Amino acid sequence: MEEELAVECAANEAYEAYRARGVMKDGRRFGGPPKPYQPPETPAGKVNVTDPDSRDVKTPRGYMQGYNAQAVVNEQQMVIAAEVNGDSPDFGHLEPMVAAAERELKQAGITETPEVVVADAGYWHQTQMESIVSRGIGVLVPPDASKRKGTRPGWDGGAYAFMRRVLETDRGGGLYRKRQGMIEPVFANTKFNRRIDRFQRRGRSTVRSERRPITATHNLLKLHKHQIAATGPERTTAPRTQNSIDCQRDHGRHQPHPHPLHPCATATFQSGSRATCSMELPAATMQGSVRCPRSRGRAPGRAWAARTTPARDGPS
């Protein structure tokens, strides 16, 4: 709230200085003087005392106390970057998300520059778009929302008209039409198929650390399904070693584990009639200090096997 008040005061000072010059940007003179405005000395409004980082974010069903989850994916619906912020609109987050994707790709050893970035109309930010284009990356962001009939008032000529012409071409329109099938199924799979529709922790940093394993397991599940489809029903078994945890399941439709930090969800899957995965861990524990069940009668550190029930798939 203090930061919002500081921004409001700075914006008011800049506006008063602009009006004091008496001339608009196009050279015309102002009319009557503006009504004086005095920002409050203390922040006004309410704050969530249990999670001050959260905000009232706008959703299709109204406002809710929460966060705005952003994601960058490729054509195979693999999540490259995922961030969480408290801003309700997507405006202003285009360049930060592209920069986050470039960092993740660099850390993964991928030096190629992305060719095109596509985003919906809410990400339109001309300054950020020009900055991304200057780095050799194409940007396709429509200036008009899909629900709007006609163009936005005042959004004519210049970059707005240029982007509309680009999206009307076969190449530009074909690339942009891929956006919905690339990003929307990722959120639908997470919220409806995997039943992860709310955060369990509070605070932006902890919420971010909670979401990153969710997107990581989404990628692993995608790789698992594609590997099974590519190799067929041949049976392979990963070797069992001391202090390892093995999870086996019958071949069939894949069901994500109930917890995103389950060791099977952070391992490398092998294909076969029994999909098997293995991960080296300390005896009877896994990441996040969550206790793992232990087979009855076995000594600590021995491998245990758990059977899961096949259920609905996520998107392919």
pLDDT exceeds 50 at position 271:
no
Distance of CA 189 to the CA centre of its chain: 13
Comparing 47 with 237, the larger pLDDT belongs to 47
pLDDT of residue 10: 86
Q: Count other Cβ atoms within 10 Å, centred on residue 133.
A: 12
The pair of structure tokens assigned to 110 is 């991928």
Residue 249's DSSP bridge partners are 275
Distance from C-alpha of 44 to C-alpha of 84, rounded to nearest angstrom: 25
Percent of the chain, pLDDT > 90?
36
- Residue 240's contacts (CB-CB under 8 Å, 6 or more residues apart) are 246, 278, 303
- Nearest one of 255, 248, 245, 247 to 273, comparing CA atoms: 248
The pair of structure tokens assigned to 21 is 């010059």
Secondary element (H or E) of residue 69: strand 68-73
Comparing 287 with 103, the larger pLDDT belongs to 103
Comparing 39 with 218, the larger pLDDT belongs to 218
pLDDT of residue 225: 87
Secondary element (H or E) of residue 286: strand 285-286
Range scoring the smallest mean pLDDT among 102-106, 116-120, 152-156, 302-306: 302-306
Q: What are phi and psi of 106, to 5 degrees?
A: -65, -40
Tens digits of residue pLDDT in 153-176:
888 888 999 999 999 999 999 999
Q: In the predicted model, what is the mean pLDDT of residues 57-85?
A: 90
> How would residue 228 be classed by pLDDT, with cut points 50, 70 and 90?
confident
Q: At what angle do helices 126-134 and 94-107 cross, to 10 degrees?
A: 30
For 44, half-sphere exposure in the C-beta direction (CA atoms, 13 angstrom radius) is 5
pLDDT exceeds 60 at position 312:
no
Percent of the chain, pLDDT > 70?
73
pLDDT of residue 140: 94
Q: What are phi and psi of 224, to 5 degrees?
A: -60, -45
Comparing 187 with 155, the larger pLDDT belongs to 187
- The dihedral over CA atoms of 284, 287, 291, 293, expressed in degrees to the nearest 10, equals -60
- Residue 223's contacts (CB-CB under 8 Å, 6 or more residues apart) are 269
Distance of CA 150 to the CA centre of its chain: 30
Is 218 in contact with 189 (CB distance < 8 Å)?
Answer: yes
CA gyration radius for the chain? Answer: 25
> How would residue 286 be classed by pLDDT, with cut points 50, 70 and 90?
very low
Residue 56's DSSP bridge partners are 65
Locate all alpha helices (DSSP H) within the chain, ordered by sequence.
Answer: 2-20, 94-107, 126-134, 158-168, 170-188, 204-231
Distance from C-alpha of 260 to C-alpha of 211, rounded to nearest angstrom: 9
pLDDT exceeds 50 at position 282:
no
pLDDT exceeds 90 at position 129:
yes
Q: In the predicted model, what is the mean pLDDT of residues 55-68?
A: 86
Q: Kindly write down the DSSP assignment for every residue of 213-280, as one continuous string.
A: HHHHHHHHHHHHHHHHHHH-S----PPP-TTEEEEEEESSS----SSTT-GGGGSEEE-SSEEEEEEE
pLDDT of residue 238: 54
pLDDT exceeds 60 at position 290:
no
Q: Report the DSSP pairing between strands 290-291 and 285-286.
A: antiparallel
pLDDT exceeds 50 at position 101:
yes
pLDDT of residue 132: 94
Q: In the predicted model, what is the mean pLDDT of residues 43-64?
A: 83
- Residue 228's contacts (CB-CB under 8 Å, 6 or more residues apart) are 251, 254, 269, 271, 275
Q: Share the mean pLDDT of the chain.
A: 75
